[in-house]
A = this chain, B = another copy of it.
Amino acid sequence: GFAKIDHHRQLRRGFPEVVLCEGKTTEQVVKIMQNLADTGQNVLATRAEPEVYEAVKEVIPEIEYNELGRTLILEQTEIEEEEGSILVVNAGTSDIPVSEEAYETARIMGNKVEKLYDAGVAGIHRLLENHDQLRKAKVIIVAAGMEGALASVVGGLVDKPVIAVPTSVGYGASFGGLAALLTMLNSCAAGVGVVNIDNGFGAAYLANSINKLK
């Protein structure tokens, strides 16, 4: 057919190919999802609009939809949960969609995931009061838009790997997430790894590969 699904990926990278719905027709998504479901593995799709969910549910009734995070998940294999945990921190309510994408991705890949939402630096006591939660996590994902300063502040407080996801939250000179992206790349707190704007999936993927290391 039109797609060469990478069935070798589970072996090579530890999780089957994940479907990015954006940019595909609903028809294409449905076919790829079925193909992946037939392998018996767990299936994850991201950036699924409600219409796509409806169409997939027609053929895979057990599919689960996280409306805010826009993920589709088919859980047909038991998930063995890793011991260390991943913490998803965000700056404000508008960062929830990206944060939830990260949350669902990390969860289906077999990680314990915690959340610390709406802790942006405009009211920094909200972060400092939860220092314990930061300390207990093994890997920290920080999702923030506007100026994205939260990543630097978190990065300066811990010695854990911090993965920063700039979000497209903001307007004007945020240029669709560019401001937050540049902030995170230039973080004066060293050791922050950055992924693409709004890429909650990629952040969780990297966090998972770190959390699974022996």
A196 within 8 A of B: yes
A124 within 8 A of B: yes
Q: A122-B156, A123-B6 are in contact. Are A197 and B213 (CB under 8 A)?
A: no
* Complexed CA–CA distance, A64 and B213 (Å): 33
B148–A183 touching, CB < 8 Å: yes
Q: Which residue of chain B has its CB nearest to the CB of A117?
A: B2
Q: Using a Cβ–Cβ cut-off of 8 Å, how many residues does chain A contribute to the interface with B? A: 92
* Complexed CA–CA distance, A61 and B183 (Å): 38
Q: Which residue of chain B has its CB nearest to the CB of A92?
A: B188
Q: Shortest CB–CB separation between residue A171 and chain B, in angstroms?
A: 6
A173–B182 touching, CB < 8 Å: yes
> Which B residues lie within 8 Å of A177 (CB)?
172-173
Q: A125-B8, A147-B182 are in contact. Are A3 and B118 (CB under 8 A)?
A: yes
A122–B6 touching, CB < 8 Å: yes
When all copies of this chain in the complex are counted, the total is 8
Stretch from A50-58, A69-77, A204-212 forming part of the interface with B: A204-212
* Complexed CA–CA distance, A170 and B23 (Å): 8
Q: Shortest CB–CB separation between residue A211 and chain B, in angstroms?
A: 8
Q: Please, what's the 1-or-0 string for A159-200, where 1 marks a CB less than 8 Å from any CB in chain B?
A: 111010010111111111111111111111111111111110
Could you list 18 further interchain pairs (A-B, Cβ under 8 angstroms) beyond the known A13-B158, A179-B179? A3-B118, A22-B171, A84-B213, A91-B188, A122-B155, A122-B188, A123-B156, A147-B183, A147-B185, A161-B210, A171-B197, A173-B186, A174-B196, A180-B186, A182-B182, A185-B196, A190-B202, A193-B194
9 nearest A-B pairs in the assembled complex, by CB-CB distance: A193-B193, A172-B197, A23-B94, A149-B149, A6-B123, A179-B182, A191-B205, A147-B186, A4-B118
